[in-house]
Structure 1
Amino acid sequence: MFISEINIENFRNFGGSNNVIEFNEGVNVIIGHNNSGKSNLLRALELVLDVGSSKKLLIDDFNKNISIDDLKQKPPKVSITVSFSESDSEPEFSEDLVTVSTWLTNLESPYKAQLTYDFYLPEKEVEEYKKVMSEISSTDSEEYWRTIEHNFLRKYRSNIYGGNPKLKRVADSEALRKIDYQFLDAIRDVERDLFTGRNTLLREVIDFFMDYEIKNDESMEKQEQQAEINKLKMDFSKDAKSLIDTLRGRMKQGKIEMLRYANETGASFGNAEPDFDGHILDSELYAALRLIVKYQTGVKIPATHNGLGYNNLIYMSLLLAKMQKDASGYYLGSNAKVFPVLAIEEPEAHLHPAMQYKFLKFLKNNSEGKARQIFITTHSPNITAAVGLDEIICFHRKQDYSLNVAYLGRVFGEEDKKSKDYVERFLDATKSDMLFAKGIILVEGITEQLTMSTFARYVDCDLEDSHISVINIGGRYFEHFLKLFDSTKQNSIHKRVACITDLDPLRKKHDKGSFTKCYPFELDIDTEHYSYKSCSNNLVGKYGLSNGQSSHDNIVCVSQVEGQGKTFEYGLAYENPECKVILTNSISNAKELDSLFDTYKEGGSLEDMIKLLGNQGDENKRIAKSILQYEKSDDKKHLLAARYLNSIDKGENAYELAQALEENFNKGNKANFKVPEYIGEAVKWICK
C-alpha cells in the first residue's frame, strides 16, 4: 500500500476544507517558496501517523482565516485525513491489508483506507462556547481567538478515526503502531542524537546488525541461525567471565580495605558480608563503542569532530538502518512495523550541492526494505535535479493566498512525451530555480539573462525583491516549459511567466530553398523574388500583452515591434542610437560604430552613414543596398542596429554589456539609456 493523498482542513496555513495533496508511491519531493506550506504538510502527516507525537495543538495551529460570524456559530476545528491505497504489486491478503482492515472505505481492489485526525471541542462544551462568543462585540478577530485560547483550548480533545470519519470509529492503537513515521526536521542536532553506543538509536541498530552475516545467511534455517548466535553469546560470556575474574584478582587486597568499613558500621552481620561479582552481556558493551571516522592514512577521529554535513549523512543512514530493523518480522516478531515512512525537511542542510544530488540518488535506489514511502521538502535545485518530474509536487500560493498544488509529471499527456523529456533533461541544478521562484522571465540567450535585472532597475522595478528568476532556455523552446505553468490546464503551477523572444523576420526565394533570416528593413522590398515572414513564431499572438494587460491569465510573450525588430541586440541598438554605453570593449569595428553613433547624433544623412560602412564584406553591401530601398524615416536607426548586431560576439559581449549598463545606472545616468519598450512592459507586468 501507499499514502495516496492527504486532506488538510484549517491547520496552520491550510485554510478551508479542500486542501488535497496527492502522493506517489516511493519518493515525493515537495517544493515551493517560503511559507507555501511544505513544513506544515509534514507536521500534518506526523499528527496522523506518528503514535508517539503530541496530538495537542496550540491556538496558532488553527488557520485563522475564519470570519467572526463563523467563529460565533461554531468552534474552530482541525481535521486531517490521510488516505491509503493498494499498490499495483501488492499480493492478495497482504500484511498491509490486515493492518488497515478496520480503516477501509473501499473493500474492492484496489482497496482504499483512511485515518482522520480531529482536534475539536466536545459537543457538551459547544453551548457554553456560543454563549461566551456571543457576548463579544469586538470587530477584532484576535479577541475571539484569545477567548478561545484562554477559555476553551484546554477543553479541546483529539482523536484518530479509522475509516469513514462520520462513523467516529477510533483507530486501534496496535494497528497505528504498525506505521513507522520517522521525521527529520530542518533544525536538527545529530551529535545530540547519536555517535555513542549509549544512544538508543545507535544501540538498537548495533544490536540488529550484530552477527548479521549469520542472520542474513539464507542457506541456514532460522533455528540453525539462532543456535549459532547463542553459541557466540556463550563464548562471549566465557571471555567476559575471564575479564571479571582478572578484575577481582587485581582488587583482592583493595577490597579488604574498602569493605573494612562495612564491618565497623555494622553492615556485615549474620555471617554475611559485601563482596564483588558480575557478568557482562555483549549488549551491555555497546555503550563502550563510539562511532569514529577512519581515514586511509590510519588516522581515527570521533564522528563528533566531523562537519555537520558529513554527520547528517551518517545520521540519516543510521535512521534508515533502524527502520530496516523495526520492520524485521524475524527480529521483532509481531511487534515489527509494517509500513515505514521517512519524512525529511530540507535534507540540503549542511550538505554540499554534489552531496545533495548523491544523497537523493541513494534514497531513490536504496529505500526498498527500509522506507516504503519518502517525503522530502526542499529549496534545493540540486535535489530537484536528482529526481524526475513525476516525483515533484510544487506548492504555490496565489495572490489570494489560496494553495495551488502542481504535479509536474502529470502536466504532460502521452502526446506531450517529447516536451516532458526535454524539460526533464533541461531541469538541472542551474535551471530548476524556475520551480522555486514566485515569477519567471524566460529568455532566449545569455545576454538577456545577464542584463534583465539591470533593465528592471531602469524601469523602477526590482526582480530580486519580487522573487523573479530569469531563466535562459538557450533558444526558442518556450512552449515546452509553458505547459508547466499554464493555469488553464490541470496540475500546472499557476505562477506568472513572461517570455521575451526575438522576431527574427524571414524570407525565402519563390522558386527554391527554405526561409532564412533577414533584416526588418528588407521586409517586402522584393516581393517579385521573395516571400516574407515578419515574425518566426506565433507565441506573441497567443500570449500577447497590451497596455499592461495580458490575454492569458498568467503567461505573456513579448517581442519587438514588427518591422522594427530582429534580435535582442538589434533592438537594443535600434532603441538607443545615441547611447555609446552599449559599445563594449570586445566589440569589433569599434571605430566605425563610434563614428556611426556620432553621425546619427549630429543629424548626418543616411548616405553619410552608408559611406562609413565602407565597401568591405558582403554583409555591408547587403545592408547598404537594402536600406536604400527601405525609404522610411527610421532608416538610419536600422542601419546602425544592423551594423551593431554584426559587430558583437554574443558570449563575451553579454558580460561586458551587463556591467556597462549597471555602472551607467549607478552613476545616475539612467536617462541616457532606454530599455526596449517590449522588455520594459514585460518586467513591469511580472513585478506587478
Structure 2
Amino acid sequence: MIVSELDLYNFRRFKSENGKPGLHVTFHKGLNALIGENDSGKTAVIDALKLVLLTQSNEYIRPVEEDFYKFTDGNYTDEFKIDCIITEFSQNEAKNFIEYLTFTNNAGKVEYSLKLHYRAKKEGHRIFQELRAGDADDGIVIEGKARELLKAVYLKPLRDAEREMSSGRNSRISQILLNHPVFFRKEDHQLLQIFRDANDDIEKYFLEDDTGKQVLQTIRSNLTSFHDKGQPSDADLKTSDIQLKAILESLSLNAPEVNPGLGELNLLFIAAELLLLKDDTDYCMKLALIEELEAHLHPQAQLRLISYLQNEYNEKNAQIIVSTHSPILASKINLKNLILMKSGVGYDLAEGKTGLQKGDYLFLQRFLDATKANLFFAKGIIMVEGDAENILVPVIADILGFPLEKYGISIVNVGSTAFLRYSQIMVRADGSTIGIPVSVVTDCDVRPYDEDKDTKNKTLNEKSDESKAAECEKNKKYSIGSVRGFTSPRWTLEYCIAMSCLSEDFHKAVHYGKKILNAKESIPLTEQKIVDADKDVSSELEQWKDLPLWNKAYNIYDLMLNRDGKSGLKAIVAQCLASILRWKISKVPDGIKQDKMFDLDLYGYKLDEEKKAKLKAKIEKDPYIGYIANAIKYAAGETV
C-alpha cells in the first residue's frame, strides 16, 4: 500500500477556497522527491503526513496554532483538514483494514482504497484532533492495530545521528530493532539465551573462581560481623533478570571510522532506519519520510545515496518521500520521480504528465546536470542556447533593474537549440500551467547573405522580411502554457547587438577579445592594447560610415569569424562586453585606467544610477535587443 493523494485545507499557508484544497499532491510507489523554491510546501507535505499517519519513532506529534491558516488580520482559522488516500493494497495488507476500506470494481478486479480524513479544531485555547476513514463527516474513527500499522518512518531535517544511534532507554536504534521481524519473538529470542549463558558464567565466577570467591567471601564475612551472634551469611552476587528490550537498549550503532563526521553518521542513521522498509511480514505501511536528504552530505555522498534509493525501492512495495533543496540531487533523480511544488499544487513530472515525450526523458536523464537542475528551484527561468547569452543576460538584467538573484530567476544554458526538451518540463499534458514563467531566448538564424553553392562566395542581403517571419515562427513554436519564446529579430544575438544601441561597445569588445585570444604574455589586455583597439574601432567606423546599419553590423560580426566561418571568440567577446557595460554604469574615480574595467569586482565601485537609467531606457526601446529585455521582464513576472 502507498500514499497516492494528499489534500490540505487551511493547513498553514494553504488556504482552502470554494471547498477546494489549498494544496493537492499525488504520489506513486518507490521514490518521490519533493522539489521547489522555499515556501512552496515541501515541509508542509511531510508534516501533514506525520499528523495523519504518525511515526514509528513514537514522537509526540500534535497540531499547534501555527498549523492553522493565518489571515491577513493576524487571526487564525478555527479548523484545518487533511485528506489522504492510500491505495495499491495487497490482500494481506487489506485484511488489517477491512472495516475501513472502500471497494471498487475495476474491470472485474476488486481494488481497495483507504480514505483518511484528519481534522483539527480549536476551541478556546485547546486543540482537538481526530482521524476517520471512509466518509469525511460520518466515517469510522481509526484506532488500535490499524492506527499502529499506518505509522511511517521519519527522518528529521537536522538529524542528530550520533545521539539517535547511541545506547540508552528507548533509544532510536532499540526502537528500530524491536520493530524488525527478527525481534518479534521477545520471550525466547536467541539473544536472551546468549545473555542467560553469560549470566550463568558471571555467577560461577563468584562461586568457583579463586579471585571471584574471595570478593564474595569478603562480603559474606562483613555481613556476618554485622549480624547478632555472628550468624553466617549466604549472600550471593546474581545478575538481573534480563529482557530483550533492555538488551537492545544497551546497543549502539557505531561507524567503523575513528571519530566519524556528521556525513558518515547521517548515512549510518539512514541505513538503520531503512531496515523497517525491507521486510513485509507485518503487512504495515512501508513509507519513509525524509526531510532534506542532503543534510550533512557532500555531493558525491548525495549521489551515491539517491542512486541506492532509486535502484533499491523503485519497483518494491515501499514508498519513500523525500524533500530536497539540492540541485545535485535534483539532477540525479529520475525526472519521473520528481514532484515540483508550486502555487498550491504538487506537479508530478512523470511520463504522461508533462509535455515531454519518452525520448525526452532519456535525453534529460543523460544531460540534465546540476547547473540546469536549478530550474526546479526558480521563480522564473530564462533558457539560452550558448555561453554569450549566459554571460550577457545577467548584466542586462542588472541594468534593467531585475537582478536575477533578487527575482529568483535561473538561467539554463542548454548548450544547443534543444529547448523543447527542457521547456516542456514546465508544460502540463492536461493543458494546465505550472505558473513558472519560462523565457526561451533563441536566434532567428536567418543569415544576412546568400551563398553560392559552388564558389561559397557571399552576397550580402538584409533579409528583413525573412527574419521577421522566422522570428514569429520560432516564438510560436516555443510558446505554450507559461513558456514563451523570445527570438532575435535578426540573425543572432551578437548580430543584433552589433545593430543596436550597444553597437560601438560590442565593436570594441570584439577587438578586445581578439587581443586576449592572441595574447602571449600573462596580462592579456593592457591599457595600451585597449587604446590600440579603440583606435582600430574608430578607423573602421570611419571606413563604414556610409554603409547601411545591417551591413556595418555584419562587418563587426565578421571580425569574430575565422577562416572556417566559425567563431571561437563569442564567449570572450561577451565577457568583454559585460565588463564594458558594468564599467559604463559604475562610479569610477577620475584617473582610473580602462584596463581596470576587467577587475571591477575587485574594486567594488558603486553604481551610477543616472548612467544606469539612461542605458536602461536605450535598451528597452531598442528594436534589436528589446527582445532580451522582454525575456528578462517576463521571467521576473512582468507583463510584456
TM-score class, shorter-chain normalisation, is 0.7 to 0.9
Residue aligning to 1:349: 295
Residue aligning to 1:571: 496
Alignment of 1:41-190 (within 5 A): 41-50=45-54, 52-54=58-60, 56-65=62-71, 76-86=78-88, 90=90, 94-108=91-105, 109-120=110-121, 152-154=124-126, 156-190=127-161
- Verify: 1:598 aligned to 2:523, yes or no: no
- Verify: 1:252 aligned to 2:213, yes or no: yes
- Between the aligned partners of 2:226 and 2:358, the Cα distance in structure 1 is 89
- Unaligned residue ranges in structure 2 (runs of 5+): 520-528, 589-606, 620-624
State the Cα distance separating 1:680 from its structure 2 match.
2.2
One-letter code aligned to 1:597: V
Residue aligning to 1:31: 35
- Between the aligned partners of 2:626 and 2:202, the Cα distance in structure 1 is 87
Residue aligning to 1:501: 442
TM-score normalized by the length of structure 1: 0.72
Alignment of 1:511-530 (within 5 A): 522-524=461-463
Alignment of 1:431-450 (within 5 A): 431-450=372-391
8 Å CA contact retained: 2:177, 2:248: yes
Residue aligning to 2:522: none
Residue aligning to 1:312: 266
One-letter code aligned to 1:64: K
Alpha-carbon distance change, 114 to 270 in structure 1, aligned in 2, over 3 angstroms: farther
TM-score normalized by the length of structure 2: 0.77
Residue aligning to 2:592: none
Residue aligning to 1:548: none
State the Cα distance separating 1:347 from its structure 2 match.
0.7
1:220-273 alpha-carbon deviations (Å, 9 max, x no partner): xx9xxx99x85x965764455234422554343344544566456659998765
State the Cα distance separating 1:488 from its structure 2 match.
9.0
State the Cα distance separating 1:466 from its structure 2 match.
0.7
State the Cα distance separating 1:359 from its structure 2 match.
0.5
The equivalent position to 1:193 in structure 2, one of 143, 164, 177, is 164
Residue aligning to 1:20: 24
Residue aligning to 2:476: 542
8 Å CA contact retained: 1:406, 1:491: no
3-state SS of paired residue (1:111): strand
- Between the aligned partners of 2:104 and 2:249, the Cα distance in structure 1 is 49
8 Å CA contact retained: 2:354, 2:428: no
- Between the aligned partners of 1:163 and 1:309, the Cα distance in structure 2 is 43
Alpha-carbon distance change, 415 to 254 in structure 1, aligned in 2, over 3 angstroms: closer
8 Å CA contact retained: 2:450, 2:461: no
Alpha-carbon distance change, 486 to 538 in structure 1, aligned in 2, over 3 angstroms: farther
8 Å CA contact retained: 2:2, 2:287: no
3-state SS of paired residue (2:322): strand
8 Å CA contact retained: 1:573, 1:644: no
Residue aligning to 1:9: 9
8 Å CA contact retained: 2:354, 2:425: no
- State the aligned residue count: 574
- Between the aligned partners of 1:475 and 1:370, the Cα distance in structure 2 is 38
State the Cα distance separating 1:345 from its structure 2 match.
0.4
One-letter code aligned to 2:332: A
Alignment of 1:276-315 (within 5 A): 276-278=237-239, 290-294=252-256, 301=258, 305-315=259-269
1:97-153 alpha-carbon deviations (Å, 9 max, x no partner): 1123222233432222211111125xxxxxxxxxxxxxxxxxxxxxxxxxx7xxx13
State the Cα distance separating 1:341 from its structure 2 match.
0.9
- Between the aligned partners of 2:450 and 2:495, the Cα distance in structure 1 is 24
8 Å CA contact retained: 1:441, 1:468: yes
Alpha-carbon distance change, 464 to 247 in structure 1, aligned in 2, over 3 angstroms: farther
Alpha-carbon distance change, 78 to 266 in structure 1, aligned in 2, over 3 angstroms: farther
3-state SS of paired residue (1:451): helix
1:439-461 alpha-carbon deviations (Å, 9 max, x no partner): 10100101211222122112222
One-letter code aligned to 1:338: C
Residue aligning to 2:634: 685
3-state SS of paired residue (2:141): coil
8 Å CA contact retained: 2:356, 2:421: no
8 Å CA contact retained: 1:445, 1:475: yes
- Between the aligned partners of 1:508 and 1:599, the Cα distance in structure 2 is 25
- Unaligned residue ranges in structure 1 (runs of 5+): 122-147, 216-221, 295-299, 330-335, 398-402, 526-530, 545-550, 608-630
Residue aligning to 1:619: none
Residue aligning to 2:308: 362
* Percentage of identical aligned residues: 24
8 Å CA contact retained: 2:446, 2:463: no
